[in-house]
Structure 1
């Protein structure tokens, strides 16, 4: 399988690939961060059959769901632990604030075990670690705890 990259001047970049089953897919990454997922016929690779617009956070979640990961559910002594990738976007009240302000473990029982930033990873961040818009928090806990933490981080 190979991916073909095509610059779209004034728009962004289009990435095309075909599955082993013959389905043709494209992802158009706009300059403003929006993405479109398109489905094409093998008979006519220029005729889009279906298009799904995705906001940046939706594209991130879709990527998380389709990326094979051994960390999605880790059984430990009969307990089901999960990991969550929690994006910190502009709606979050925690941008620019210390991690300790989230009170994640106290409020949810879930732990933030790492913070991914555009150019770096920060494992085991302490309570004084300053969060930034665009960070992705890696949390471990029960499904309920991680889901509750995701809502807190999102500003819910």
Structure 2
């Protein structure tokens, strides 16, 4: 598979994908979250034969389906076993989250939830892969977190509570 990525100033980013089988797909991700997918003819690579437009939520659902998160084909079961019960979640951080302005270490994320923040994408599109304990959670960022279902639930509580100390009796 061949993937070419191009910035589209004022619009977003374009991904030109050619599969091993020769299919051509163009995906445009708009800055406002919309996605457009174009499929092209084999014989006429400049003629689009179909187009789909999706909002951000729809695109994430389709990505989960295509990525095998809702159904794992039999041939991929061995790969799935390597990940076992791990799930990757994306959390949009609102100003109301009490974790905003606190560091990962201050929240003691790993100790209190078992989950791991593997990336942070800020509003200005700057990316932080494997942020360390001194990284401060910014508002309007997206946190990419890996962990088992219960660990993800505990992590959500940390985001809401902001203390890093989970009190099971409080219902938080």
When normalised by structure 2's length, the TM-score is 0.52
Partner of 2:52: 51
2:145 equivalent among 125, 138, 144: 138
Aligned ranges for residues 3-152 of structure 1 at < 5 Å? 3-4=3-4, 10-45=10-45, 46-55=47-56, 58-59=59-60, 62=63, 66=67, 74=82, 80-90=84-94, 93-94=97-98, 96-98=100-102, 110-117=113-120, 118-122=126-130, 125=133, 130-132=136-138, 133-141=140-148, 144-146=149-151, 148=153
- Find the residue that maps to 2:63 and give its secondary structure: helix
- The 1:131/1:12 distance shift into structure 2, 3 A limit, reads closer
- Tell whether the 8 Å contact from 2:92 to 2:143 is kept in structure 1 after alignment: yes
Kindly tell me the number of residue pairs found equivalent between the two proteins: 142
**Residue 92 to residue 41, structure 1, CA distance change in 2 (3 Å):** farther
Deviation readout 1:121-142 (Å, 9 max, x if unpaired): 345638xx6322323242322x
Give structure 1 stretches of 5+ with no counterpart: none
Q: How far is the alpha carbon of 1:87 from its aligned partner?
A: 2.8
**RMSD across aligned C-alpha pairs, in angstroms?**
4.5
Q: Matches of 1:17 and 1:84 in 2, distance apart?
A: 24
Q: 1-side partners of 2:153 and 2:33: how far apart?
A: 27
Superposition TM-score, scaled by structure 1 size: 0.56
CA distance in structure 2 between the aligned counterparts of 1:42 and 1:92, rounded to whole angstroms: 50
Structure 1 CA distance for aligned equivalents of residues 44 and 159 of structure 2: 41
Deviations 1:93-148 (A, max 9, x none): 35625356698976xxx42323422332345638xx6322323242322xx31564
